[in-house]
Amino acid sequence: MSDLKIFCLSIYNKNNNLFKGFNYIPVGLGDNIFNDSWLVDNTGKNISSKNQYYGEYSFHYWLWKNHMTEISKSKWIGFCTYRRFWSFKDCESQSIDALKKNIITNEPKAWDNSDVILAERLNIGKIKNSKIIKNFGIKNTVSNLKILFKSKHNLLEHFKIFHGIDHINEAIKLLPKNDRLGFEEYLQKFSFNPHNLFICRGSKILEEFYTNVFSWLFKCEDQFDMNKLRGYEIRMLGFLAEHFVSYWFQKKFSVYENPITFFDTNKKMS
């Protein structure tokens, strides 16, 4: 029996049998109706109504508040999505057969000396000027003209361009003092562990992470008028959490960066 428990998160109410075939637990998010074979985030103590702001973290909150006892005996507890899976190599699976060959269903030896597994880091690189102007806006671009001439952009600049110039600055101020400077330093980097994908060695690490990340996200939610957010900004809390995952786990634990395979089960199995 595998010591690896993986929750596979989806906004589509199909392909749960595929996820179960990998010994993954199917999780339904969003407004679709999911049958009893799925775990969902709208029972018990939950923030399901705020899914548009929190993304997959509406399920993480549900898990934290309702299901930790159920997973407390698991050696490894982790998360993937309906289109991004833990893999033996960084690739895009072209078929369901290729996905079955690439996907990890049991913990590999490479994880033995690690506390946390994160997705292999993604390099930001240079953002095209057309994307900067489109997402940052003409006014912000004119006020920050230097951003157009940089050879590459760091995480802070990337966040400001795509998720709001003021939000990240205000969010940083809401972190505890011991994380504030560390997170600011982290945001000067040019790569991070993406997609809010992580696997923890045991529920103790996971619970510690939840305590820290939700304390911060709830403060951010109180600070911002969520109803005024538009476009990519709507998922701002989820994007903040994505960076916090990379920063916080790397700071506190021994991390192994594992490849991810892309396969959109909603489109390719429709």
Please determine, for residue 269, whether its predicted confidence score (pLDDT) is greater than 80: no
Do residues 169 and 47 make contact, with C-beta atoms less than 8 angstroms apart? Answer: no
Please determine, for residue 76, whether its predicted confidence score (pLDDT) is greater than 90: yes
Which helix (H) or strand (E) covers residue 5, if one does?
Answer: strand 4-10
pLDDT of residue 68: 96
Q: Please report whether residue 65 resides in a domain.
A: yes
Mean local confidence (pLDDT), 196-206 = 97
Q: Please report whether residue 156 resides in a domain.
A: no
Mean local confidence (pLDDT), 188-211 = 97
pLDDT of residue 188: 96
First to last CA, the chain: 31
pTM for the full model? 0.94
Q: Please report whether residue 173 resides in a domain.
A: no
Number of C-alpha atoms within 13 angstroms, CB side, residue 221? Answer: 16
pLDDT digits (tens, 9 = 90+) for 106-121: 999 999 999 999 999 9
More confident: 37 or 233: 37
Please determine, for residue 176, whether its predicted confidence score (pLDDT) is greater than 80: yes
Q: Please report whether residue 139 resides in a domain.
A: no
Residue 231 burial (CB < 10 Å; 0-12/13-18/19+)? Answer: exposed
Q: Please report whether residue 161 resides in a domain.
A: no
User: Where does the pLDDT of residue 171 fall: very low under 50, low under 70, confident under 90, or very high at 90 and above?
Assistant: very high
User: How many CB atoms within 10 Å of residue 124?
Assistant: 15
pLDDT of residue 109: 95
Task: Tell me which residue of 193, 128, 134, 135 sits closest to 159, measured CA to CA.
Answer: 135
Which CATH number belongs to the domain containing residue 229 in this structure?
Answer: 3.90.550
Q: Please report whether residue 114 resides in a domain.
A: yes
Q: What is d(CA 188, CA 158) in angstroms, rounded to the nearest whole number?
A: 10
Percent of the chain topping pLDDT 90: 78
Do residues 218 and 80 make contact, with C-beta atoms less than 8 angstroms apart? Answer: no
pLDDT of residue 126: 93
Give me the number of domains the chain comprises. Answer: 1
Average pLDDT of every residue of the chain: 93
pLDDT of residue 270: 57
Q: Please report whether residue 78 resides in a domain.
A: yes
Do residues 193 and 245 make contact, with C-beta atoms less than 8 angstroms apart? Answer: yes
Q: Please report whether residue 154 resides in a domain.
A: no
The range of the structural domain enclosing residue 213 comes to 4-121+193-268
Helices (H), the chain: 16-21, 51-54, 57-66, 68-71, 96-102, 129-136, 138-143, 155-163, 167-173, 177-186, 203-223, 236-252, 265-268
Percent of the chain topping pLDDT 70: 99
54-63, 133-142, 254-263: which range is least confident on average? 133-142
59: CB partners within 8 A, 6+ apart: 7, 9, 27, 29, 39, 41
pLDDT digits (tens, 9 = 90+) for 223-250: 988 888 777 778 889 999 999 999 999 9
pLDDT of residue 1: 47
